[in-house]
Amino acid sequence: MNKGFNWFYVVILIALGMLFYPMLSSSSTVKSIDEDTFFGLMQQGKIKEIKVYRDTHKADIFLTSEARKKTEEQKDIMLPFSQGANPDLELSYGDLKYLQERFHEIKKTNPEIKSVINFGDSGSAMKSTFISMAMWIGFSALLYYFIFRRMGGGGGGNASSMFNIGRSKAKLINEKDAVVTFKDVAGLEGAKEEVQEVVDFLRNAEKYTKLGGKIPKGVLLVGPPGTGKTLLAKAVAGEAKVPFFSLSGSDFVEMFVGVGASRVRDLFAQAKAKSPAIIFIDEIDAIGRARSKSNFSGANDERENTLNQLLTEMDGFGTDTNVIVMAATNRADILDKALLRAGRFDREIYVDLPELHERKEIFEVHLKKIKLDDSVDKEFLAKQTPGFSGADIANVCNEAALIAARNSHESVTKQDFLDAVDRIIGGLEKKSLAIKPSEKRRVAIHEAGHATISWLTEHANPLLKVTIVPRGRSLGAAWYLPEERQLTTTEQLLDEMCATLGGRAAEQVVYNNISTGALSDLEKVTKRAQAMVTIYGLNDKIGNISYYDSSGQSEYNFGKPYSEHTAKTIDEEISKIVENQYQRAIRILTKNKEKLEALADKLIEKEVIFKEDLEKIFGKRAWEPEVAVTSKKEEQNPTPAENPAPVIDNTPEEEKPSENDELKYSQS
């Protein structure tokens, strides 16, 4: 039966034309740059004109004729609907005043620069209304098309469909687009060395293949959040001099059936066409999660199909192409074992939290753009931030600059950085919080107890400062600088537990009662005692047994890996360890009760006390922290003994001072 002419197709065509008109008449195909890149081009004399639009915080940039000739991709093309020549670049700016001041400053410094700045509006209200109507009509047409035309046809898995829903969303980074190199990546020397080798594989493949070697298929970057995994991949893109396809694991996920697998196929097809090439998948755990053995609901079929397609592409028939897959994740324990086997991800590079010298290098990178005071010492800042990741250090530098601006400083001082560290770790100071004098003295006694025990025990962490100023959710805190060690002995664990219980013990010694303020202390010592007994085999009664599961599968088990009798023994031993250290803290504080109360009085008087104040009351500390020394040879070739399995002290939560000694009171 002939249904005749369908008017709805006319609506679709008109709506699509109206929808794509502003795109064709605008600079949507123009490359976007940041302010630093713009000012760099201006200083080189490559900018002819910049047209600033106040209403959109964007600007069109027109290059000089000489600069345009050198850029192959930026040509003065006249689009069918455009009113004039397209801009060569597009700039998204933040503060217009700063943009103008910097622009005129550069021109004043170099009179030879002939760049001009103009202002305008991106469009009228009528045009905006017209575009909005067009977008709504286009959206309605698309909705009609997908719901009534596509739902019964398999969900758009065909890459040649009208809207290319099955096409890969990977961003292609060429040599000209890459802005990050290995010089911009501070620290991570071991990871950089391995990644550089991968880059060399692609550049000089014959060097390895002539000896019978094969280029690795995949490289997996594993490490805590903020350690620089994605930055390392960006540096690879800048150094590789080969096509670099970048996308996230979530880009494969779609509501339509078959789209994920189709995008994987298309991604590898594009990479093989431009071989040699690198594919980078960020947060690969979004699609690489271990497949379930019993899938009752069928909800994960699409994700598993996507993973199966990825496995096939990485190690299937006809994969003798120079394509390397790089991926990043902080959840390597949940990835499918088939994904991690040799022949797929051949190399697993662990990107750990930076050491002292690496933190110094990271500070040097981030401090380049900050106006520093002469009092700022990069090595001192590195020592003040144990357990901080690269992202944390970047946040410290930014927060210090904000604090300096808030206090109207001409430059960022050393104190601004210390305040920034305190702000990030402990939270914002709440000086206006009303506290009763009795509670304030109890808080002072509690914090003085922490400080006293840590001063009088050998292996406790060195004291940094003690404060009773409310900060975040805590009423007071005693902050320490944890030692950067790779191994922890039983004595060190016990001394640190004793220091953690020092606050609660001080309340018992002075008031003969305890409060609810030691909640975080009790939680910490309980977890540490549990780790000693069940993980590290540091208990005589349980023996040299560990119930730790490195695969991470134990969290899905309903039962315990030990009997009820053993569970009872474990509970008894944990309680025994904690109670022994609590009684030890009481004995130490009872013996030094007068000094404890003197320290609390000084704390109430000054609100913040430092190491020097404790030396006046207790004298010099009998033990000095041991300084770790690493040779250059050991840095380049670490042995397994120098990199043991992570211990409880090396986790970010326990290295940061705020987590060690935060005092919390429960609400009643």
Which active-site residues does the annotation give?
Answer: 447
Alpha-carbon distance 188 to 205, whole Å? Answer: 25
* Cis? peptide before 111, omega within 30° of 0: no
Helix H or strand E encompassing 20: helix 7-25
The answer to whether the Cα torsion of 490, 496, 500, 502 is positive or negative is positive
Structure token digits, residue 261: 């697998």
The answer to whether the Cα torsion of 642, 648, 652, 658 is positive or negative is negative
Query: What Å distances lie between residue 66 and 72, 86, 117, 423, 470, CA to CA?
Result: 12, 17, 19, 50, 61
Do 524 and 663 touch, CB atoms closer than 8 A?
Answer: no
Backbone angles phi, psi at 35, to 5 degrees: -65, -40
Structure token digits, residue 83: 């009113």
Structure token digits, residue 493: 């664990």
Structure token digits, residue 577: 């360890």
Residue type for 648, please? I
Dmax over Cα atoms in the chain, in whole Å? 102
Alpha-carbon distance 537 to 475, whole Å? Answer: 36
Residue type for 199, please? V
Query: For residue 372, what is the DSSP state?
Result: B
Alpha-carbon distance 648 to 524, whole Å? Answer: 11
Burial of 449 (0-12, 13-18, 19+ CB in 10 A): buried
Which of 490, 473, 442 shows the shortest CA–CA distance to 603? 442
User: In which region does residue 520 sit, left (phi positive, over 0), alpha (psi from -120 to 50) or beta (all else)?
Assistant: alpha
Alpha helices in 204-256 (DSSP H): 205-209, 229-240
Which of 508, 655, 527 shows the shortest CA–CA distance to 590? 508
Query: For residue 146, what is the DSSP state?
Result: I
Alpha-carbon distance 645 to 166, whole Å? Answer: 42
Alpha-carbon distance 529 to 542, whole Å? Answer: 13
Structure token digits, residue 468: 């009773």
Look up tokens 């880059």; give the residue. 199
Structure token digits, residue 655: 């290295």
Structure token digits, residue 433: 């919080």
